[in-house]
Homo-oligomer: A and B are copies of this chain.
């Protein structure tokens, strides 16, 4: 394995366990039985590691947003996408439990995070138009209804892991399935009868 990748993996696991601010370059180097000097050759500061990890994480999110127009959409594919994103967030959870502070440490991360909000918003707009065109989603009933729903879905995505960590809930597969289910269920009351039938196929476990 490439040394840079080894460093990033070790750093990520330490950040997840102890929190970003409690991990030093020395601790990461020690974990890899590497000298701090050798590590510094690859990453000058802890902040550089943070930045590399952030862009490693979002690479996958960015790809998925870009492919939105190309791929076939179904509740099955939406559910899979949500699950993949949440799983990835758990892999980089140090970031999501300390978002407010970490965004203040690094301008590149902050700039990307803010810019991507608009893309995510547009992605949801595209998705909802698509579902409405297919007769699965009802028309929105008041002027801000769609905007509110999208804001809530992005807000939920940004904070479900933070909100769970507040209560020290253990993040296992079952919990991940629960949270994916809740994010997907945000769409449910806006679905048409046809949409509800399709939803039931994907989450049949809710209808016993």
Contact = CB atoms under 8 A, between A and B. Distances in A.
A206 B100 contact: no
Given A100-B98, A117-B167, A155 B148 contact: no
Contacts of A103: 166
A185 B100 contact: no
A155 B156 contact: yes
A127 to B, nearest CB: 17
A41 interface: no
Contacts of A167: 114, 117
In this complex, the member of A158, A159, A165 whose beta carbon has the largest number of chain B beta carbons within 10 angstroms is A159
A167 B110 CA distance: 9
A33 interface: no
Interface string A126-167: 000000000000000111110010011001101110110111
**Interface size class for chain A?**
35 or more
Interface of A: 97-101, 103, 113-114, 117, 141-145, 148, 151-152, 155-156, 158-160, 162-163, 165-167, 181-182, 185-186, 188-190, 196, 203, 206-208
A113 B165 CA distance: 13
Most buried by B among A117, A151, A190: A151
A207 B166 CA distance: 37
Given A143-B206, A182-B148, A189-B189, A100 B155 contact: no
- Interface residues of A: mostly helix, strand, loop or mixed? helix
Nearest to A19: B101
9 contacts: A103-B166, A143-B207, A144-B206, A148-B185, A152-B152, A152-B182, A155-B159, A158-B159, A159-B162
Contacts of A185: 144-145, 148
A145 B148 CA distance: 19
A163 B159 CA distance: 7
Given A152-B186, A156-B152, A159-B159, A165 B206 contact: no
